[in-house]
Amino acid sequence: MLKRDLGMKVKGLASSLVCFGLLAGAPAAMAEDAAEEVVVPEPGVLRDCRGTSYDCWDNFDEAKEFLDGKFELEGNVWQAPSEDDIWDAWCAASASSGQLESDGENIFLVGDQLITFPEDGNTAYFRTESKSGGMTIDVVKIIKNKKDIYKVHLKV
């Protein structure tokens, strides 16, 4: 998630320096080595929903309408171009109350990680990491005791 983004920025910076001749004589693998470093976020607030004023989604249909207007839906997955876009979707799900923090070792969500839509009981769940990488929102619609799981995650 954030570690990967920072690693990509470090890798990109090192690659740019090599391209501009600022790291002349440095091995080309230096850019690759920089991406392998473990980046631990400083303690404190990493993201919040300041500047947004979303009302919470009352039901699955409102969530789907919002997400369909923001992202391309492939199967049951809304493909977000960036983690900023995923975070903005979580701000909408949480009525602009979401906050992501770090204790210097771990990244965690402050407040509700599970939002239950008041009109239909369906849910949205925030995860800081997924198997495919990056933060993810699971939007669960229950039809006749069967879970239909939709996801918002990074476009691959």
Overall number of domains in the chain:
2
Q: Do 10 and 51 fall into the same domain?
A: no
39-93 pLDDT, tens per residue? 556 888 889 998 899 988 999 999 999 999 999 999 999 999 999 999 999 999 9
Q: Do 106 and 138 fall into the same domain?
A: yes
Q: Do 90 and 106 fall into the same domain?
A: yes
Q: Do 27 and 96 fall into the same domain?
A: no
pLDDT at 16 over 60: no
Q: Do 31 and 49 fall into the same domain?
A: no
What Cα–Cα distance (Å) separates residue 15 from each residue in 2, 3, 11, 105, 121? 20, 18, 6, 28, 49
Q: Do 58 and 82 fall into the same domain?
A: yes
Residue tagged 């979303």 (tokens): 54
Q: Do 48 and 80 fall into the same domain?
A: yes
- Residue finishing a domain among 39, 54, 69: 39
Among 2-11, 77-86, 123-132, the range scoring the smallest mean pLDDT is 2-11
Phi, psi of 93 (to 5 degrees): -65, -35
Phi, psi of 72 (to 5 degrees): -80, 135
Instruction: Report the greatest alpha carbon distance in the chain.
Output: 65
Name the more confident of 85 and 31.
Answer: 85
Spatial contact of 109 and 117, defined as CB atoms under 8 Å apart: no
The secondary element (H helix, E strand) that includes residue 61 is helix 60-70
CB atoms within 10 A of CB 49: 20
Q: Do 20 and 75 fall into the same domain?
A: no
Q: Which residue type, as a one-letter code, is found at position 141? A: K
Q: Do 97 and 86 fall into the same domain?
A: yes
CB atoms within 10 A of CB 91: 21
Name the more confident of 21 and 129.
Answer: 129
Residue 132 is predicted with a pLDDT of: 78
Q: Which domain holds residue 66?
A: 41-154
Task: Return the DSSP state at 80.
Answer: E
Q: Do 119 and 143 fall into the same domain?
A: yes
Residue 41 is predicted with a pLDDT of: 66
Q: Do 101 and 143 fall into the same domain?
A: yes
What Cα–Cα distance (Å) separates residue 90 from each residue in 8, 23, 31, 100, 139? 24, 41, 33, 11, 11
Q: Do 60 and 121 fall into the same domain?
A: yes
pTM for the whole structure: 0.71
Task: Return the DSSP state at 87.
Answer: H
Query: Average model confidence (pLDDT) for the chain?
Result: 79
Residue percentage of the chain with pLDDT more than 70: 74
